[in-house]
Amino acid sequence: MKRVVFLCLAILVLCVPMMAQAAEFGDRTKDMAEVTGVRSGDGADKTRIVVDADKKVAFKQMVLSNPDRVVVDIPNAWISPKAKLTKSVDSRFVGAVRVAQFDPTTVRIVVETKVGKNNYKVFKLDGGEKPGRVVLDFGNLGPDTTGTNIALPDVKKPDTAKPATKPTTKPVEQKTPPVEEKQEPAATPKDEEDKGDEDPDIASITGMKGKVITIDPGHGGNDSGAIGPTGIMEKSVTLRIAKELAVLLRAEGATVYMTRTGDTEVAANGANATDIEELQARCDVANSHNSDIFVSIHMDSFSSGEVHGTTGYYYTKGSKNSERLADKIRQGVIDQIGTSSRGTQGANFYVIKHTDMPATLVEVAFISNPREEKLLDSEDGVKKAAQGIADGIADYFG
């Protein structure tokens, strides 16, 4: 009997701390604010960074130097895995932004800043749809934008004048170019425009506001595009990315047209259209709306599953801006999904040739490569690819 009591005691002594710990963790996250995301927008006058939390939060700020950075701590908070942890904003005012769990109860945001002490501001925005927001503004913040102009130590223009990076090495494989001319059956949706859910925090300052952007999800309907080793079809990946992208761009205040929003052809006569009619229909969407840019989204493919990477294409005889757009988007995608670069290249694809505005066709990754097929078949991969294209577009307009 005694021994049984002793055993029970021993078990209790062993288990109580474990249970206590488990309970402590549960309590901890339950009462803490969840940091769900970090957004940024880049305007002519300032760069705004918004940290979203699921409940009201407080913050403490400090400044560190070498390099200059603004540190904002949000106590009693934890960072959701959903939140993006590092963001290269790289505007005139801000370099990298990092968000991390600093200690068990503190989320820390570190912003590398290029502005002086009087040219940033951190404040809270409560209420509205998002319960807790901490906003960090960097740039020209005076109520009057005329007088006190910003003290920018060592102002450097964004490298927009810099020529786009050329591929250093020629791609080894020569695949058939995506002449992208094939579509078919009963089509319906034409261009789809709507203002979507503009994000007022961001749209008020981003260079994207008011821009007209046509997104072309490659293939569709009877034309599946390339098919990956496990059967994933290019047409569905391109559409998923395009839809995510549209949401992101609309949040930043852009007007977005999609050449298709479902699994269909774009040409009015659907599957009966010739390749050229189908592709021209895509150009028509962009041209008829006087779009500022045209972005055609594709997945690459090659006979060998080993080939991988991201390529940005622009019309060989097109404008310098087309090349710059292609380059920015390719870089944005690579930054997000971690693919290798196959460079920014001139090409004669129909859709980038027959659109009247700066235009690019991005081959996001190789659907014929098992790893890249898997990545782009995942929710995460699609979201990141869309974010990468959006980042590239923002960079282009920035």
Residue 232 CB neighbours (<10 A): 18
Q: Determine contact, residues 179/218, Cβ cutoff 8 Å.
A: no
**Least CB distance to Zn ion at residue 215 (A):** 14
**Least CB distance to Zn ion at residue 346 (A):** 18
Count of residues in contact with Zn ion, rule CB under 5 A? 4
CA atoms within 13 A on the CB side of 51: 34
220: contact with Zn ion by CB under 5 A: no
Q: Determine contact, residues 319/358, Cβ cutoff 8 Å.
A: yes
Report d(CA 85, CA 99) in Å as an integer.
Answer: 5
What are the beta bridge partners of residue 294?
214, 359
**Least CB distance to Zn ion at residue 294 (A):** 15
Under DSSP, is residue 263 helix (H, G, I), strand (E, B) or coil? coil
340-379: which residues touch Zn ion (CB under 5 A)?
none
Q: Which stretch binds Zn ion (CB under 5 A): 80-88, 206-214, 219-227, 258-266?
A: 219-227
Nearer to Zn ion by Cβ, of 38 and 337: the residue is 337
Q: How many residues does the chain have?
A: 398
Nearer to Zn ion by Cβ, of 35 and 367: the residue is 367
Please give the DSSP secondary-structure letter assigned to residue 371.
H
Nearer to Zn ion by Cβ, of 70 and 362: the residue is 362
**Least CB distance to Zn ion at residue 361 (A):** 8
Nearer to Zn ion by Cβ, of 138 and 366: the residue is 366
Nearer to Zn ion by Cβ, of 39 and 298: the residue is 298
**Least CB distance to Zn ion at residue 298 (A):** 4
**Least CB distance to Zn ion at residue 228 (A):** 12
Q: What is the DSSP string of 309-365?
A: -EEEEEETTS-HHHHHHHHHHHHHHHHHH-PPEEEEEEE--HHHHS-SS-EEEEEEE
Residue 188 CB neighbours (<10 A): 12
Both tokens assigned to 338: 């971690």
332: contact with Zn ion by CB under 5 A: no
What character string, x for contact with Zn ion (CB under 5 A) and - otherwise, covers 273-302? -------------------------x----
**Least CB distance to Zn ion at residue 238 (A):** 7
Nearer to Zn ion by Cβ, of 47 and 368: the residue is 368
**Least CB distance to Zn ion at residue 182 (A):** 10
217: contact with Zn ion by CB under 5 A: no
Distances (CA, A) of 173 to 201, 234, 300, 308, 337: 45, 20, 12, 10, 22
Among the listed residues 85, 82, 75, 83, the one whose alpha carbon sits nearest the alpha carbon of residue 28: 75
Nearer to Zn ion by Cβ, of 233 and 251: the residue is 233
What character string, x for contact with Zn ion (CB under 5 A) and - otherwise, covers 174-203? ----x-------------------------
Both tokens assigned to 270: 């659907």
Alpha helices in 86-131 (DSSP H): none
Closest residue by beta carbon to Zn ion: 298
**Least CB distance to Zn ion at residue 311 (A):** 11
Among the listed residues 173, 297, 282, the one whose alpha carbon sits nearest the alpha carbon of residue 246: 297
**Least CB distance to Zn ion at residue 235 (A):** 8
Nearer to Zn ion by Cβ, of 140 and 344: the residue is 344
Taking the CA atoms of 365, 367, 372 and 376 in sequence, report the sign of the dihedral they define: positive
Of 225, 318, 332, 358, the one binding Zn ion by CB under 5 A: 225
Nearer to Zn ion by Cβ, of 52 and 373: the residue is 373
Report d(CA 33, CA 11) in Å as an integer.
Answer: 35
132: contact with Zn ion by CB under 5 A: no
What are the beta bridge partners of residue 256?
194, 213
**Least CB distance to Zn ion at residue 380 (A):** 22
Q: Which stretch binds Zn ion (CB under 5 A): 39-47, 80-88, 172-180, 302-310?
A: 172-180
253: contact with Zn ion by CB under 5 A: no
Of 43, 218, 358, 381, the one binding Zn ion by CB under 5 A: 218
Q: Determine contact, residues 184/265, Cβ cutoff 8 Å.
A: yes
Report the run of H or E that residue 203 belongs to, with start and end.
helix 200-203
Enumerate binding residues for Zn ion (CB under 5 A).
Answer: 178, 218, 225, 298
